[in-house]
């Protein structure tokens, strides 16, 4: 059979996936494989007792998503709680503080790889906005940022630093969270991306994420006194989860804990039985596609040897449609940068072209990469994800080369162009995930260098400023051109 015939059937299947994703709330997609019957068996109670407690399977999934997302095991918390001297230290200790963050960042990142709260928050981003859990999940994230901002403010006061105006402490927490999110997302696919392999001039071995956090804090803070209320956000006045949890019985609490355990076990399972892919793709299978296309199931099995091979191709098809749109945005961002005469604003303009697309899509479209995150241990998902990472780094490298040639800069010693590309890839994934979870988190109209830009664009500019130096034609071995 011809490849075009397979393409036609994959197009039918991709359309079925999109309808399925749009037709059910996000918590159903994310938790649909956790059944009350399995929870009852684990607890040694009857299934009827759990249905009396919730009324329906969907009600259970709703509560389970919120509980699983509520853990504040945030890497930003870990970074801002890193040990420092008990008494105020002079501003000259700031470099020492940055070096001391390296092991803390590494340990915190690896803890998040299997953290159910992070898996749930990323998984939710793979589906359109879910009004039944979306705002409550956003509140959970905001509470985490409130706590992290308070700790970061205390740390900055101890070392005599403050955010560069007009940024505030909450902006720093948000942009740090963006790169943390992206690093963990890609670290699940390829753990080597989290290795401490960069040796900088201070003789400290750094991870990619550590270098990024160091750049953000170094470039976006300055010596000075931070007021007692230096930009930390206020506490959220509404706590939907707390109100809901007050009504739970002991049996419900035990069932939710068992549900989280099952979710984590499923996410950690490397078994390639096809259940992982089927969960994300709405159980679209060869038989259903055959019926929709008006052909026999035998005909479909002539094209694909089995269900799993079909699902892997279907993931590729759905992702290719999303990827084509993303590459179009990247091309637009580079074109926009090329039209800017002020070199100080090249990166800012390029990033905010993508931000403009993002803000125009409400609700955001499905994101297969996010939806697959809780299933990345599945060999098929893992292999697909690794190929996607390689394509992403290549795309971001091309953009970095164009911009750096225009800026006439090269990476600092110890850093390569691929490292900068990987960091910007972290930022792209993390900012998209955060925007989907809480569209208010990133500020989009901050005055900076003669224009108005997002805090995420400013963070990208900070990375370039910190990790590059003016290029010297005589040193071509490390050139970004």
| Residues forming a β-bridge with 335 | none
pLDDT at 87: 40
3-state SS assignment for residue 284: coil
- Decide: 187 and 193 in contact? Cβ < 8 Å: yes
DSSP H or E run through 285? none
Can you list the pairs that 81-84 forms with residues at least 24 positions away whose Cβ atoms lie under 8 Å?
81/151, 82/155, 84/155, 84/158, 84/159
DSSP H or E run through 393? helix 379-407
DSSP 344-389: GGHHHHHHHHHHHHHHH-SSPPP-HHHHTGGGTTSHHHHHHHHHHH
Task: Please write the tens of the pLDDT for every residue from 34-66.
Answer: 899 999 999 999 999 999 999 999 999 988 988
Task: Please write the tens of the pLDDT for every residue from 142-151.
Answer: 887 888 888 8
DSSP H or E run through 23? helix 3-23
pLDDT at 84: 46
Among residues 196, 164, 194, the alpha carbon closest in space to that of 180 is found at: 194
pLDDT at 480: 37
What is the distance between the alpha carbons of residues 313 and 12, in angstroms, rounded to a whole number? Answer: 13
Please, what are the averages of pLDDT over each run of 10 residues along the chain (481 residues)? 73 85 80 90 94 92 86 53 45 71 76 84 81 78 82 85 94 92 90 85 81 93 82 50 70 91 81 64 84 91 88 83 69 66 73 72 72 82 84 83 82 91 91 86 90 92 92 49 33
Among residues 171, 122, 168, the alpha carbon closest in space to that of 434 is found at: 122
Per this entry, what is the length of the chain? 481
pLDDT at 88: 42
3-state SS assignment for residue 200: coil
pLDDT at 351: 81
What is the distance between the alpha carbons of residues 393 and 382, in angstroms, rounded to a whole number? Answer: 16
What is the distance between the alpha carbons of residues 437 and 187, in angstroms, rounded to a whole number? Answer: 20
Q: In sequence order, which ranges of 190-306 are alpha helices (DSSP H)?
A: 208-220, 240-245, 250-268, 275-280, 286-293, 297-303
pLDDT at 338: 65
Q: Taking phi first (over 0 means left), then psi (-120 to 50 degrees means alpha), and beta for anything else, what does residue 408 get?
A: left
In this prediction the pTM is 0.84
Can you list the pairs that 105-108 forms with residues at least 24 positions away whose Cβ atoms lie under 8 Å?
105/75, 105/78, 105/79, 105/207, 105/209, 105/210, 105/213, 106/194, 106/196, 106/207, 106/210, 107/78, 108/75, 108/78, 108/79
What is the distance between the alpha carbons of residues 228 and 226, in angstroms, rounded to a whole number? Answer: 7
pLDDT at 236: 47
Tell how strand 409-411 and strand 446-448 pair up. unpaired
| Residues forming a β-bridge with 206 | 198
Contacts of 99 (CB under 8 A, 6+ apart): 202, 204
pLDDT at 345: 75
Among residues 200, 76, 178, 183, the alpha carbon closest in space to that of 459 is found at: 178
What is the distance between the alpha carbons of residues 29 and 127, in angstroms, rounded to a whole number? Answer: 8
What is the distance between the alpha carbons of residues 400 and 419, in angstroms, rounded to a whole number? Answer: 11
What is the distance between the alpha carbons of residues 297 and 440, in angstroms, rounded to a whole number? Answer: 47
pLDDT at 364: 65
- Decide: 464 and 151 in contact? Cβ < 8 Å: no
Measure CA 315 to chain center.
19
């Amino acid at each position: 059979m011809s490849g075009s015939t397979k393409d036609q059937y994959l197009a039918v299947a991709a359309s079925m996936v999109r309808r399925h994703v749009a037709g059910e709330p996000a918590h159903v997609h994310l938790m649909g494989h956790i059944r009350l019957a399995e929870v009852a068996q684990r607890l040694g109670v009857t299934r009827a007792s759990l249905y009396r407690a919730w009324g329906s399977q969907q009600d259970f999934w709703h509560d389970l998503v919120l509980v699983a997302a509520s853990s504040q095991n945030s890497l930003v918390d870990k970074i801002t709680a890193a040990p420092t001297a008990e008494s105020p230290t002079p501003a000259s200790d700031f470099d020492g503080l940055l070096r001391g963050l390296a092991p803390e960042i590494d340990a915190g990142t690896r803890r998040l790889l299997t953290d159910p709260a992070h898996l749930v928050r990323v998984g939710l981003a793979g589906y359109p906005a879910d009004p039944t859990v979306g705002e409550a999940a956003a509140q959970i994230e905001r509470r985490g940022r409130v706590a992290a901002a308070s700790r970061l403010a205390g740390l900055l006061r101890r070392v005599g630093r403050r955010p560069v105006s007009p940024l505030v402490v909450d902006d720093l927490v948000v942009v740090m969270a963006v790169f943390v999110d992206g690093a963990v997302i890609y670290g699940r696919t390829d753990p080597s991306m989290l290795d401490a392999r960069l040796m900088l001039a201070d003789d400290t071995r750094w991870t990619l994420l550590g270098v990024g956090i160091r750049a953000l804090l170094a470039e976006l803070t300055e010596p000075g006194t931070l007021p007692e209320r230096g930009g930390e956000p206020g506490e959220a006045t509404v706590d939907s989860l707390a109100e809901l949890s007050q009504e739970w019985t002991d049996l419900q609490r035990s069932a939710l804990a068992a549900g989280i355990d099952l979710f984590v076990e499923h996410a950690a399972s490397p078994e390639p039985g096809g259940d992982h892919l089927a969960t994300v793709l709405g159980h679209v299978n060869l038989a259903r596609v055959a019926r929709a296309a008006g052909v026999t199931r035998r005909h479909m099995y002539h094209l694909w040897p089995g269900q799993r091979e079909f699902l892997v191709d279907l993931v590729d098809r759905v992702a290719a449609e999303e990827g084509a749109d993303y590459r179009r945005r990247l091309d637009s961002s580079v074109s926009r940068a090329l039209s800017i005469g002020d070199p100080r604003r090249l990166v800012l303009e390029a990033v905010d072209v993508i931000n403009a697309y993002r803000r125009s899509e409400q609700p955001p479209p499905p994101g297969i990469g996010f939806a697959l995150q809780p299933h990345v241990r599945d060999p098929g998902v893992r292999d697909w994800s690794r190929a996607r990472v390689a394509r992403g780094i290549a795309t971001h490298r091309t953009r970095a080369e164009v911009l750096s040639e225009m800026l006439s800069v090269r990476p600092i010693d110890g850093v390569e162009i691929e490292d900068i590309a990987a960091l910007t890839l972290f930022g792209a994934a993390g900012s998209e995930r955060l925007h989907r979870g809480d569209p208010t988190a990133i500020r989009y109209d901050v005055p900076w260098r003669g224009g108005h830009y997002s805090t995420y664009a400013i963070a990208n500019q900070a990375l370039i400023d910190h990790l590059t130096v003016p290029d010297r034609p005589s040193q071509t071995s490390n050139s970004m051109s």
